[in-house]
Amino acid sequence: MTARLTRFDWHGYLRSLRFSLYTMRRPLDGFWDLIHEKRGSMAAAHTIVAIAVIVEILRLVLTNFQFINLNMEMFSAWWVLGQMVIPILLFSVANWCLTTLFDGKGKISHIYMGYAYAMVPQIIINAALVPISHVITYSEGAFHWMFTIIGYMWFVLLLLCAMKEIHDYSFSKSILTTILSLFAIGIMIFIFIMFFAVVSDGVAYFVSIAQEAIFRIRRG
């Protein structure tokens, strides 16, 4: 373990992190190289996700209240963390499950990496908007929202490009599988919830039987 840590390739890590700036501008070329030329790394993807979570928390907390106003008594950074990370994991799994059926070439780690790299422009825009929100007024808010929307659209576009290159699909097929994986996410969430409901009901059933038994034994 220590041996691996000491052999950590800092140079390669930084280069793969910097590569995210290339995928941002040249997505078709960039995402191909990201996977097939091994220009990206999982370490960089994890870093990007971590930065995305931090930026999201800062955005919600530090943006001027004219644009985002949350009741800080109700705010939870853990909730934001869940909101950011769970969709990524669900998407990676759902998309992989789906694309293996439609001869996609990508692995789960590739999909995860593609998703993380696709988030980069949105992170940059959101981070820049936080200080900007403190020098513009409410009536100039259209500016703020426009850039927020641009950030989202850029992200979606990059995600589609990433899926296309990772799985070696045509563009329309990548759109289709991405939409279908959203449905798959819905099904997964549904199954999770149902599973927990069934388990908790089952547990409650046995607990109540036990309580009844104990009650009767005590009374004799």
Partner 1 sequence: MKRIFLVLFVAALSAVLMPVTVTAGGASHYTYSYNEWGIPIPSPDAYRVTAFILGEHLGVGNFNNPRDLQVWENYLYVVDTNNNRVVVIKFQDDGTFELAEVVTHVYINGEASPLNRPHGMFVSPWMQNYGQKWIADTENHRILHTDENWNVLTVIDRSKLELSALEDDRHFLPLKLAVDFSGRLFAQVAMVNRGLMEFDNDGYFAGYMGAPDVTINPWQRFWRRISTRDQRERGWLFVPVDYNNVTIDNEGFLFVTSSGPDVEPVRRLNAMGSDVMIRNGFEDPQGDLWVGNAGHIQGSSVLIDVTALPNNTFVVFDRTRGRLFAYDNQGELLYAWGSYGHHEGAFMLPVALDSMGFTLFALDATTGAVTRFDLTEYGRHINDALAMYQRGLYEESYDIWQEVLRINGNFSLAYIGVARALLRRGYYRDAMDLFRMQNDNANYGRAFGFYRRQWMEEYFWMFAVVLGVLIVVPPVVKKVIKVRREILES
Residues that bind partner 1 (CB under 8 A): 65-67, 69, 71, 135, 137-141
- In terms of C-beta density within 10 A (0-12 exposed, 13-18 middle, 19 or more buried), how is residue 33 classed? middle
The nearer residue to partner 1, 144 or 167, going by C-beta atoms, is 144
Closest approach, Cβ 67 to partner 1, in A, equals 8
Shortest distance, position 148 Cβ to partner 1, whole Å: 16
Residue with smaller CB distance to partner 1, 68 or 175? 68
Nearer Cβ to partner 1 (59/167):
59
* 31 vs 67, beta carbon nearer partner 1: 67
Q: How many Cα atoms are found within 13 Å in the side-chain-facing hemisphere of 69?
A: 4
CA atoms of 161 and 148, how far apart (whole Å) = 20
Q: How far is the CB of 64 from partner 1 (least distance, A)?
A: 9
C-alpha torsion sign, points 142, 145, 149, 151: positive
Least gap, CB of 131 to partner 1 (angstroms): 14
Cα(127)–Cα(122) distance, integer angstroms: 8
